Amino acid sequence: MHVEDFRNYCLSKKGVTESFPFDESTLVFKVMGKMFALKSLTRLPRQANLKCDPERAIALREAYDGSIIPGYHMSKKLWNTVLLEDVPQKLIVELIDHSYDLVVSKLTKKAQAELANL
């Protein structure tokens, strides 16, 4: 998946913002101020970090050995690094959705209500 496609899909989701809080080459996507995706603009092969349910993270790493790995510079339990050129685009979209949904489910009731009203 190309960086612009990844970016556009993330930004199409409700309540999402983008920023560069760490450095000038790591694009971070947040929903209601909480990270759900990070995309390096310079690392090769192209990759992104996405939050994942711990059990699903293990299953994905086994099924896509070497293409989905424990999150680079992130909690290895909750984040995966996905090599975007090695994983089908349909799965990448599904994993972005999963990450977004996980973060939204952990938002406070107030933040969830605010998101619903956007």
pLDDT digits (tens, 9 = 90+) for 60-115: 999 999 999 999 889 999 999 999 999 999 999 999 999 999 999 999 999 999 99
Please check whether residue 32 lies inside any domain of the structure: yes
**By residue range, what is the domain housing residue 97?**
3-111
Characterize the bridge pairing of strands 26-31 and 79-83.
unpaired
Helices first, then strands: H and E counts in the chain:
4, 6
Please check whether residue 92 lies inside any domain of the structure: yes
Please check whether residue 50 lies inside any domain of the structure: yes
**Contacts (Cβ under 8 Å, ≥6 apart) of 80:** 49, 50, 52, 57, 60, 61, 68, 69, 70, 71, 95
How many residues belong to the chain? 118
Total domains in the fold of the chain: 1
What CATH number is attached to the domain comprising 93? 3.90.1150.30
- Whole-model pTM over 0.75: yes
Please check whether residue 66 lies inside any domain of the structure: yes
Please check whether residue 103 lies inside any domain of the structure: yes
Please check whether residue 116 lies inside any domain of the structure: no
Please check whether residue 118 lies inside any domain of the structure: no
Please check whether residue 117 lies inside any domain of the structure: no
What is the residue type of 42?
T
